[in-house]
Amino acid sequence: VSEGTWAPTAGGASVVVLDVNTGDVLAMYSYPAFDPNALNPNNNHPLTAAGDNYLNYVFSSPLKPLLNRATQGEYAPGSLFKLVTIITTLESGVFEPDSTYTCTGVWNGLGNFVRRDWLEGGHGELTLMQGLTASCNPWFYEMGMRTGQKDFELLPHYAREFGFGSKLGIQIAESSGVIPDPDWLWQTMGQEWTLDNSINMAIGQGDVQVTPLQIASLVAAVANGGTVYRPQLVDRIGLIAEEPSVITEPEVLYEPDVSPETLQLVREAMHGVTSNMEIGTAEYRLGSLQMAVAGKTGTAEVGGDRYPHAWFAGFAPYENPEIAIAVMVENGGQGSSVAAPIFRRIVERYYNLPVLD
Give the pLDDT confidence score for residue 8 in this predicted structure: 74
Most confident of the following: 37-46, 59-68, 165-174: 165-174
Q: Which amino acid is at 326?
A: A
Please state the φ and ψ torsions of residue 115, each to the nearest 5 degrees: -105, 150
Q: What integer is the mean pLDDT of 338-357?
A: 93
**Statement: residue 142 has pLDDT above 90:** yes
- DSSP class of residue 25 equals E
How far does Cα 343 stand from its chain's mean position?
A: 12
Q: Which residues neighbour 291 within 8 Å (Cβ) at sequence distance 6 or greater?
A: 316, 317, 318, 347, 351, 353
pLDDT digits (tens, 9 = 90+) for 48-94: 444 457 777 788 888 888 999 999 999 999 999 999 999 999 999 99
Q: What integer is the mean pLDDT of 330-340?
A: 91
User: Chain-wide mean pLDDT for the chain?
Assistant: 92
Distance CA 199, CA 294 (A): 26
Q: Quick one: CA torsion of 24, 78, 136, 127, rounded to 10 degrees?
A: 40
- DSSP class of residue 71 equals H
Between vectors from CA 216 to CA 210 and to CA 218, what angle results, nearest 5°? 80
pLDDT digits (tens, 9 = 90+) for 264-293: 999 999 999 999 999 999 999 999 999 999
Give the pLDDT confidence score for residue 45 in this predicted structure: 55
Q: What integer is the mean pLDDT of 169-176?
A: 96
pLDDT digits (tens, 9 = 90+) for 303-325: 888 888 999 999 999 999 999 99
Between vectors from CA 293 to CA 292 and to CA 297, what angle results, nearest 5°? 140
pLDDT digits (tens, 9 = 90+) for 85-135: 999 999 999 999 999 999 999 999 999 889 999 999 999 999 999 999 999
Give CA separation, 13 vs 28, 66, 171, 220, 352, in Å.
11, 13, 21, 20, 24
pTM confidence score: 0.94
Q: What is the DSSP string of 192-211?
A: ---HHHHHHHHTT-TT-BB-
